[in-house]
Amino acid sequence: MDKDSKIYVAGHRGLVGSAIVGKLLAEGYRNLSFRTSQELDLRSSDQVDSFFKNEGIEYVFLAAAKVGGIVANNEFPATFIRDNLMIQTNVIDASYRFGVKKLLFLGSTCIYPKYASQPMREEDLLTGLLEPTNEPYAIAKIAGIKMCQAYNRQFGTRYISVMPTNLYGPNDNFDLNHSHVLPAMIRKFHEAKVEGKSVVELWGTGTPRREFLHADDLADACLYLMHHYNHSDIVNIGVGEDISIRELAEKIRAIVDYAGDILYDASKPDGTPRKLVDVSKLTKLGWQAKIRLDEGLASTYSWFLQTSEHRRTITNI
């Protein structure tokens, strides 16, 4: 990509998209294109076609998706598979028909089997059953990967697919019913502290292990791969180490400075027992994560505090 290339970041206001926009701007890319979901409904093929036809897009970061944690995936399985299939199908196909030079598709490590070997390798895809709680979302993402590979094979496109591990950072979703585990914990511990609650209740046993990658590191990796990777095979993006949910809870409790107890509700689902990705392929390509978890958690909580205070101030005007 040249500095003046026309670049479209789909999902620019989300956790991933906003980090990619920030990285592109920091690197001197100024010819960026993005639309809110109100301005452009990516589920509408007519709207997507009109956008690509008129904008002259050269490069695409496809970060737009319907995402959520265990609760949201359990409550809205049809919405997750429908919306994600529609979004990625429309953008990938329009990119081909309107001459996009290269596209990066953001997948997720939930594509791997529930009991995949650890750490999960790229070749583990489609070797076993998926985790039931997020199967509709995972199937949509797998379809996106296969669509990119099929277009490359049939039409000679340059579509690459990356599989980031669990993400966190600024612009994350902190809604308790629809967020992922890390931002949900931040909000739970913060509100318990503010409200003087003696106990914070968390889902599951606390024993599952998860890997967490800061969104700014993901953005850096995506830009790196746009410049240095041109194969159909998927690439994992992660840090190469994981911690238990209990360990994560203790870290967040310390950062928030919450003095109460933690109660684990073992009647609630744990999800996949472990999710650690093999990042050896990405390391060989020349990229490694830089932001340590403690540093990332502290900056994310700081962002949450500033944003929450700003929203309260606006609401009270």
Per the listing, tokens 């746009």 go with 226
Known binding residue 164? Answer is: yes
Known binding residue 108? Answer is: yes
Known binding residue 11? Answer is: yes
Known binding residue 104? Answer is: no
* Residue from 81, 72, 79, 61 nearest 14 by CA: 61
137 has catalytic annotation: yes
Known binding residue 203? Answer is: yes
Known binding residue 13? Answer is: yes
Known binding residue 133? Answer is: no
Sheet holding 59-62, edge to edge: 32-33, 7-10, 59-62, 102-106, 159-164, 235-237
Q: How many CA atoms are closer than 13 Å to the CA of 157, on its beta-carbon side?
A: 27
Q: What is the largest CA-CA distance in the chain?
A: 60
How big is the CA angle at 238 (ends 212 and 270), to the nearest 5 degrees?
45
Known binding residue 165? Answer is: yes
Known binding residue 169? Answer is: no
Of the candidates 29, 137, 168, 258, the residue annotated as catalytic is 137
- Residue 252 tokens read as 């967040």
The Cα–Cα gap between 305 and 317 comes to 19
Residue ranges of the annotated binding site for substrate are: 188, 203, 210, 270
Residue ranges of the annotated binding site are: 11-17, 106-109, 141, 164-167, 180, 188, 203, 210, 270
Catalytic residues: 137
Residue ranges of the annotated binding site for NADP(+) are: 11-17, 106-109, 141, 164-167, 180
